[in-house]
Every structure is written in C-alpha cells, then in structure tokens.
A and B are shown apart, each in its own frame.
Chain A
Amino acid sequence: MKIGKYSTTSITATAFGIMVALSSCIKTDPNSPGYEYMPDMYRSPSYETYSVNPNFEDGMTARKPVEGTITRGEYPYPASTINNMPFAYADTKEDYERAGAELTNPIELTPAILADGKVLYEKYCTHCHGATGQADGKTVTAGGFPPPPSYSAGMSSRGGAMKDLTPGKIFHTITYGVNMMGSHASQLNKVERWKITHYVQTLQKQ
C-alpha cells in the first residue's frame, strides 16, 4: 500500500525514528542538566563568584578581603567608641577576660531587639544549645555532638558559672568560639551577635 509516493513501511519507520530521537531529549540522567538553547546565556564567560579561576594561585574567583577590612555599615553606634572600632580583642584567654570586663552591649534592649535576637538564636544556636540553652538541640540529641554547658546551670570552661557570663564574654565567644564551638563571625555580623547576646542573657536566668 502506498500513501502518495511513499510506502507505509517507510512512513512507519520514519515516524518511529523521530519518536525515538525526540524521546532521547527527555532528561533521565540526574547528573545532566539537559539540553541548553544558547548555552552562552547560561554559562557566563565572565568569572562568577564560585567559579574556577586560572588567574589565581588557589584557583578560586572568590577572594578574601584584605586584612583589616571594615565592613560597610560597621559604625551604627555613635554612643560607644569601643564598638566603633574593628573588634579590638584577640582570640586569647586574657582578651576574653578583658572583653568581659570592658564591653557592654551597645544595642539598647527593647522587646523588638530581643525578638530579633530570639529569631537569630533559633537559626544559629538552637541546634546545639537547645531552645532554652540547656544543650538539648538536635545536633546533640540526634547528631552525637558533645553537649555544651547549660546557660543556666553549667560551668564555663574558662572559669565561673555560665549564668554569670558578661555580655562581653558572650560576644567574644560567638566571635572566636571556644573549645568545640567554632567562630561564628563569618555567619553573623556584629549587630546580630550583640542581638543574640541579649537573648542569651535572658536564657541565663532560666
């Protein structure tokens, strides 16, 4: 039988071929993003933040800020001179004690600030320290992370009870970390750290 001048056999074969060819365009491999129409629109010729860069020795496009760089907007508190400066305390026990004695929380405690502190605490601290600071976060209970001392009942490894830690000491600890806790300065800016300090101080009293 013929349709026009083509036999049904060849029409069927062609249709089947097209079908197979098209279905191969459907993505099945999770490792492949699939086909791109004009890939140069997707893959930028310029170097992106996380892309490999042959021009630097370490191969990364992302650069570290120059030592001593001050973040934009680092001067929000005209009242306190010491907090206007880049953090003037080193990661030593002496400077920890000094920060504890010299620093006060430059952010005035208001219900709104405390609410901000709570939100930040829940995002950055709860998984280890627990919702109420009793070291019952999921990372400890389910993940096997060694429990930190309780804010209200525990003892600080650097002396004294946790509930007596001053704002300066708490801020220093968030900034540099201590023992198993790492520095959180890369995740939280100073304002956020001071807000969390306010909230931690309410947990010390629980």
Chain B
Amino acid sequence: MHTKLTKVFFPLFFLFFLTFSFTAKAVDGEKLFKQNCSACHKLDDKKLTGPGLKGVFDRVPQPAEEWLYKWIKDNEALRKSGDAYANKVFNDNGKIPMSSFAHLSDEELKAIIATIKAGPPAPPTPVATAPGAEPAQAPKGNTMLYVLLGLTILFLILINVLSGVKRSLQTLVNEKEGLPAPAELGAWGEIKYWMAHNKGIVALGIIIGFLWISKIGWDALMGIGVYQGYQPEQPIAFSHQIHAGQNGINCVYCHSGAEKGKTAGIPSANVCMNCHKAVQEGKLTGTKEIAKIYAALDYDPNTGKYGSNPKPIKWVKVHNLPDHVYFNHSQHTVAGKQECKTCHGAIDSMTVAKQHSPLTMGWCIECHRTTEVQTAGNGNAYYDYIHATYKDKFKGQPITVEKMGGLECAKCHY
C-alpha cells in the first residue's frame, strides 16, 4: 500500500514542481521587464522612448534570441562592432542610446527575452456596456410643474364627470317631483357654479397659488447671476473622475497655481503630455479625445515629434466671479488651509466639471462667519503673535475669520 502511494504521488509531485518552477520563471521575467524595460518599451507595437517590441523576433537579424541577448547586454558594444542593424535601430529612434544591462545575469536576460517573445498579456475583457445602459437622465426642474399640470387636468375631467352624474340624478329627482329639468350649464358653467358656491375653497386656492407663484418667481430672480450647477460641455471631454478619482492625481498637479497665486489655473498642454505621451488611449473615449491634445500641440504620436503650429485649447470657464470681487486661491488653500473640495465639491467624481457652490456674497460671508481660524502649528511668528492678541481680545469666543476682519468690505472689494 505504502509503496503504491509513493509510486502514484512521486510523479504527480514531480509534475507539480515542474509546472511551479516554470510559472515562477515566467513571473520573474515579467517583473524584470517591468523593472528594466517597460519605462521605454511596450510589448505591443506602440512606440514609447524606444520602439514597441511586437514582432521584434522577425525584425532583428537571425538567430533573433542571440542578437537580442547581445543588444540588451551591451548595445553600445554591439553598435561599435559594426553591426548594421544595431546602428540602424539607433539612428531610427532619434539616436537616444539605450542603457546597457551588463549587470543582469544570463538567466535574467533569457527570462526577459522569453517575456518579450510571449508578447503582451491578454487585455482584460472590457466590461460590456449595453447600449442604453446609460443611466436615464432624470428630468430636472420642471418635473413638479408637469405633475401639477397633469393633476389639474385630471381634476377638471373628474369635476366634469361628477357634475354630469349629479345633473342626471337631479333631473331624475326633478322628474319625480314634477319640476322642470335643471338648466344645462356646460363644463365651464359647472365649474363657475361650483366656485360660486364654494368661495372659501376658491379663496384658499387663489392664496396658495399666489404664494406658490411668488416662490417660483423669487427663486428665479435670486438665481440671476448665480451659476451654481453650471456644467458646460468642454472642447475636450476631460473627466476629473478618471484623472483625480481613479488615477489619484492630486488637484495641484495640474492646477499648480492654486497654492501659489490668485487663480488655480488651467494647466497648459505640456502638463497633459507628462502622462499622455505614453497614455494614448483613454478609458472612456479611446483615442478620440486624447487626439485633440495632440492636434492642439501639433504633436505626432507616431514619431513623438512636435510640429511648429500649436493652437490653444478653448476651455470653457466654469467658475466666474464678477470683476469687483477679489478672490485669491493661495490665501484660502495655504494660509486658510481649506481643502479644494470645500468649495468645489466632489470634483473627483464628476465626469464633466460642475460648479458646486453658488459663489454668492452671502455664501462667502457665511463661511467667514463660521470658519474658525487654525491658530496652532502655523510656524509663522507674525501669525502666532496676532493669534495670541485675538485670543486675549475675544476671551472664550471662537476666533473666526470674521473676528479677524474677514467681513470688512475692502477685504474683497477694492
């Protein structure tokens, strides 16, 4: 029994060990490729700094593995030895020398070559989105109005039907008692008849209607000049949700003015290119929108060269303050230590940027009245002094921006 088991299990174990050792090696090659190569080379046919490696085994002099081994180990030596193809590759790729990888062992080099041979890993199957699976756009704003209109019509029909029933009943009663049939009033006549006999309800209805109309009118008037909810379509369908949300890029990476000056700034296209030189296909829109950056910069993603005819991208301004207000971003983000989201809302979940706050004076004032000044840990002698003074002056009370003169007219209007 014992020997039988061993006989069965030993080959199985051996097989398992063999498979395991092979997978371990393949993983190793992938890791090495990531560490040493992938900053410049892609496994498909896209060019980064160096050419894409798809089909490299057919391009290079045969036997390919031997040539690649020599090239990766010390490409400079290979070029100097007069290898025609090595020099051609060097010249074709802008004469940017590839670094030497003499420090890698033969085994590691072979693992890398095997990884290149295996080609790019199969792309993860994209999540199928059925056409029309997009969330239905909820009708905004006027829904209430439509509901009320519908109800009004329903009630009118109901009144008409009920009054018809009432009249036929009255006619029957009158016939029995020998009285003449009641006069035909018509639908509008019935309503007028009803209104004339229910003046209290009519008066109440008129008052409620008047107040309701006033409320709509008031809201509409208060909304004049307030852009809250403004979410214009931009010339390039840039998604903050992808960039700031999924990819975790900090706001100030692109809006680097937010901590340095008055405006947060719209990033110039060179900041886009810090990533989009390599990332040429977007998750939502494929190459369509990213191609617009290239077009604006007159950049050719195939050759990696900039042309001489760049054009500015005409972004649509979302947040707009009137000219008679001074607002400074750095004052709020650095000295005031406010988070971007305090005023801009959950930008990192917005596909299209939207104005979150009303940006009205009342809104500014409200925050200046309630926000407490951070008095500790500023590392600034003047701040420390002034905070101590205020603490003496307003004993026991919270020190808000208002207390420091944050409501003075000339703070913002000058």
Contact = CB atoms under 8 A, between A and B. Distances in A.
Given A33-B320, A41-B323, A138-B248, A182 B217 contact: no
A123 B252 contact: yes
Interface in B393-409: none
B39 A180 contact: yes
Most chain A CB within 10 A, of B48, B224, B268, B273, is at B224
A93 B268 CA distance: 26
B322 interface: yes
B274 A146 contact: no
A149 to B, nearest CB: 6
Contacts of B271: 182, 186-187
B7 to A, nearest CB: 45
A179 B253 contact: no
Nearest to B309: A58
A interface SS class: loop
B84 interface: no
A16 to B, nearest CB: 9
Contacts of B100: 159
Contacts of B311: 58
Contacts of B273: 182
Interface stretch (A77-85, A101-109, A150-158, A165-173): A150-158
A41 B232 contact: no
A22 B220 CA distance: 7
A159 B210 CA distance: 80
B269 to A, nearest CB: 11
A18 B213 contact: yes
A25 to B, nearest CB: 3
B220 A25 contact: yes
A10 interface: no
Most chain B CB within 10 A, of A156, A181, A182, is at A182
A31 interface: yes
B386 interface: no
Interface in B182-220: 192, 195-196, 209-210, 212-213, 216-217, 219-220
B39 A179 contact: yes
Given A25-B223, A143-B279, A186-B268, A127 B250 contact: yes
Nearest to A30: B231
Interface residues of B, number: 73
A26 B216 contact: yes
A80 B87 CA distance: 43
A28 B227 contact: no
Given A1-B192, A28-B142, A22 B213 contact: yes
Interface residues of A, number: 66
B275 interface: yes
Contacts of A137: 248
Contact of B195 (A1, A18, A49, A126): A1
B35 A154 contact: yes
B154 interface: no
Contact of B39 (A123, A146, A153, A188): A146
Interface in B368-414: 379
A94 interface: no
A34 B227 contact: yes
A127 B253 contact: yes
A148 B242 CA distance: 21
Contact of B35 (A18, A42, A150, A182): A150
Contacts of B223: 25-27, 34-35
A33 B226 CA distance: 8
Interface in B205-259: 209-210, 212-213, 216-217, 219-221, 223-227, 229-233, 242, 246-250, 252-253, 256
A139 interface: yes
Contacts of B103: 155
A147 B34 contact: yes
A135 B31 CA distance: 12
Interface string A114-155: 000000001110111000000101110011111111100111
Contacts of B141: 26-28
A23 interface: yes
B278 interface: yes
A14 B296 CA distance: 53
B314 interface: yes
A26 B219 contact: yes
B246 A25 contact: no
A190 interface: no
B312 interface: yes
B224 A180 contact: no
A121 to B, nearest CB: 10
16 contacts: A18-B213, A22-B217, A26-B141, A33-B320, A34-B227, A42-B225, A58-B312, A123-B252, A126-B250, A135-B34, A138-B246, A145-B278, A149-B35, A157-B49, A182-B275, A183-B270
Given A28-B140, A155-B36, 15 more contacts: A23-B145, A26-B142, A36-B225, A49-B263, A60-B312, A124-B253, A139-B247, A139-B275, A146-B48, A149-B35, A150-B35, A155-B99, A157-B40, A158-B99, A159-B100
Interface of B: 34-36, 38-40, 42, 48-49, 97-101, 103, 140-142, 145, 192, 195-196, 209-210, 212-213, 216-217, 219-221, 223-227, 229-233, 242, 246-250, 252-253, 256, 263, 266, 268, 270-271, 273-275, 277-279, 311-312, 314-315, 317, 320, 322-324, 352, 354, 379
